[in-house]
Structure 1
Amino acid sequence: MDRRTLLAATMGITGFAITGRAQAQAITLNGASQFNDEHAFTRSLVRFEELVKQYYGKPINFVLHKNSSLGLEKQYFEYMSQGRAVDYGIVSPAHMSTFSRAAPFIDAPFLFRDLAHWNKVLDQDMLKPIADELEKRARVMLIGYAGGGVRNIFASRRIENMEALQSLKIRVQGAPIWSRTFAAAGMSPTVIAYNEIYNAIQNNVIEAGENEAAGVEQMRFYEVAPNLAMTQHAITIRPLCFSVATFARLPADLQAAIRRAGPEAAAYGRQIESGEDGQKLASLESAGRLKRVPFAERDTLQQKVAPVLAAYAKEIDADPIMRRITEATS
């Protein structure tokens, strides 16, 4: 048993701590982030803690495990589903497909036209059917939606048009929609763990990956893949999740505080990430760490992907959701 597994098992037993004098009892909630203090996801989780404390108004302890000390987001979601080790965290929809085939679709490439369209979809709560399914099947609540980073392709060579994309060995997320859409565009996608991307590019196993600015900066992908093709192929949605098993054990006033704090903390995270996205890229470029490469055929790329996206939505019974998203005015 490795250190992370042992720690998670121990925390599953000691998730609630009794502290203070006599009968005083303070609840401890454990969160997890793959990233450091500066990352938008970590800052969103810290804001969640602050808001819960403010709205609850009673003693409560939060322990946020950062820098992947409890593994990766896939493990966080499993822990929350099992009601152990992790009570709350931000998780990519790609890691929810075991419980909802439609979940990764909300983060699919070319689903959103722009940030205004993306915000409209979230404001109108169009993702509620997926949230309801995950709460029932995975026993994980989606209490808010963070994200907002625009994803581009970082590569070890210059990518500026469809021809350059052909046969590009690129790492994609684990959900099938990512492999299918990237393959439809002519690339050669492969699924590799997030924390293995840097070495895979360095060792020529792959040539590229795709991420938003915060991830490129945090993971230093620019060191091995300094060419950033501005494909703008996706805008991230990163649900703020909470374990149903943990939630059920909490007093009603704390439950109310969590439900109130979740959407506010997530909106704060969206503001951070969408606002800082361009700033981070400009800073990295001015420091000579990466080069933003205009992608001349984005419309052509989207046209290649569109039939696959529509077929996949129908396959997983998400076509009503896709129709509402497509028809939403920005």
Structure 2
Amino acid sequence: MKRRLLMGGIAATTLAAPFIANAQAPLTLNGAVQFNDDHAFNKTLLKFEELVKQYYGKPINFVLHRNSSLGLEKQYFEYMAQGKAVDYAIVSPAHMSTFSKAAPFIDAPFLFRDLAQWNKVLDLDLLKPVAGEIAQKADVMLVGYAGGGVRNIFVNKPVSNLAEIKGLKVRVQGAPIWSKTFAAAGMSPTVIAYNEVYNAIQNNVISAGENEAAGVESMKFYEVAPNLAMTEHAITIRPVCFSGKTFKSLPKDLQDAVVRAGKEAGAYGRQVESSEDEQKLVALEKAGKLKRIPFKDRAEMKKLVDPVMAAYAKEIGADGIFTQIVATN
């Protein structure tokens, strides 16, 4: 009997040993991003890693899968929803629409007056209801908000007010809200594939397009449309996302670290991306490739578009959030 008990005890100890070792091993969190370390998204996620480690104060491993090695943002979001492969990532709101109709609204055109209002809306957490819907329906948490790329109109002729953009043939993104808002501002929007915009302007099919500085630079749109009308019609929001299933499995002190780090890393990412936007435009101007033109009727243009945005917000159940954003000074 004693021998059986002894052997049983040894067996139990042997079986338990791997579990004890595993319990003591540091956790590993896997992130994903489409770009390399020069991109603002990578810098944001590396800051997130740094802050989690700082606030958690215990051993933990991070693996950031770069350069689309785990696919694209749409896949990252699906992986996080399923609780596999990806624990954290930056994802465009457009890729969340399968789970939440309101998600793309936070990235819609003419939603914000300027960067100051955009920052305040994020600091006040006015997008919390949208984040709540995404958490409920997709089981993915929006722990912070990066972004900050400001989109303007690049044109083959100088334009600086509403009268000069009346009837302007401008390429817009495929989502209907883009065509509706640009038409409300008096332009003639058309949907053209992104990689065909350069030739379309060159061949006078259209006169303009819209993008943030990084896109204008990388696609060389300045070669066919060297005038940049500073309409600031859209400011990107790129949420720092975290898998809800992963989050629930973490110890409380690590959960707290993730939430705190997410918010701070998002703010850091906004500062990085918005400042890089300016740097790229300055460099293009100094090289004589682009000329920035102040748009005098920015406020008037937004007034024309607001009713369209209000109707869209009501249609997707985001009218309460829209009202709060409009009232934010």
Q: CA deviation at 1:45?
A: 0.8
TM-score relative to the length of structure 1: 0.81
Q: Which residue of 1 aligns with 2:252?
A: 252
Q: Which residue of 1 aligns with 2:61?
A: 61
Q: CA deviation at 1:37?
A: 1.7
Question: Quick one: structure 1 residues 200 and 309, their matched pair in 2 at CA, closer, same or farther if it must change by over 3 Å?
Answer: same
Q: Deviations over 1:28-55 (max 9, x none)?
A: 3222223332222221111001111112
Structure 2 letter corresponding to 1:211: N
Q: Secondary structure at 1:148's aligned position in 2?
A: strand
1:266 aligns with 2:275: no
Structure 2 letter corresponding to 1:146: A
Q: Which residue of 2 aligns with 1:131?
A: 131
Higher mean alpha-carbon deviation, 294-303 vs 87-96, is at 294-303
TM-score relative to the length of structure 2: 0.81
Q: Deviations over 1:256-300 (max 9, x none)?
A: 211111001011111222333322211122123333244354344
Retained in 2: the 8 A contact 1:158–1:229? no
Q: Deviations over 1:59-118 (max 9, x none)?
A: 322222333333332232222222233221112222222222222222222222222222
1:292 aligns with 2:292: yes
Q: Which residue of 2 aligns with 1:90?
A: 90
1:47 aligns with 2:47: yes
1: CA distance between counterparts of 2:318 and 2:91? 20
**Higher radius of gyration, 1 or 2:** 2
| Counterpart mapping for 1:96-245 below 5 A | 96-155=96-155, 157-158=156-157, 160=159, 161-162=161-162, 163-164=164-165, 166=167, 168-172=169-173, 175-185=175-185, 186-190=187-191, 192=193, 197=194, 199-204=195-200, 208-217=208-217, 221-222=221-222, 226-245=226-245
Q: Secondary structure at 2:263's aligned position in 1?
A: helix
Q: CA deviation at 1:141?
A: 0.4
2: CA distance between counterparts of 1:229 and 1:184? 17
2: CA distance between counterparts of 1:81 and 1:159? 46
Retained in 1: the 8 A contact 2:111–2:234? yes
Q: CA deviation at 1:215?
A: 4.3
Question: Quick one: structure 1 residues 224 and 262, their matched pair in 2 at CA, closer, same or farther if it must change by over 3 Å?
Answer: farther
Q: Which residue of 2 aligns with 1:13?
A: none
Q: What is the count of residue pairs matched by the alignment?
A: 303
Retained in 2: the 8 A contact 1:182–1:189? no
Retained in 1: the 8 A contact 2:145–2:239? yes
> Percent of pairs identical after alignment?
67
Structure 2 letter corresponding to 1:201: V
For structure 2, the 5+ residue unaligned runs are 1-19
Q: CA deviation at 1:232?
A: 0.9
Structure 2 letter corresponding to 1:141: M
Question: Quick one: structure 1 residues 125 and 30, their matched pair in 2 at CA, closer, same or farther if it must change by over 3 Å?
Answer: same
Q: Which residue of 1 aligns with 2:6?
A: none
Retained in 1: the 8 A contact 2:170–2:210? no
Q: Deviations over 1:245-265 (max 9, x none)?
A: 222222332222111110010
1: CA distance between counterparts of 2:209 and 2:62? 34
Q: Which residue of 2 aligns with 1:7?
A: none
1: CA distance between counterparts of 2:249 and 2:176? 35
Q: Secondary structure at 2:200's aligned position in 1?
A: coil
Structure 2 letter corresponding to 1:187: S
Q: Secondary structure at 2:132's aligned position in 1?
A: helix
1: CA distance between counterparts of 2:37 and 2:81? 25
Q: CA deviation at 1:223?
A: 5.6
Retained in 2: the 8 A contact 1:104–1:177? no
Q: CA deviation at 1:164?
A: 4.5
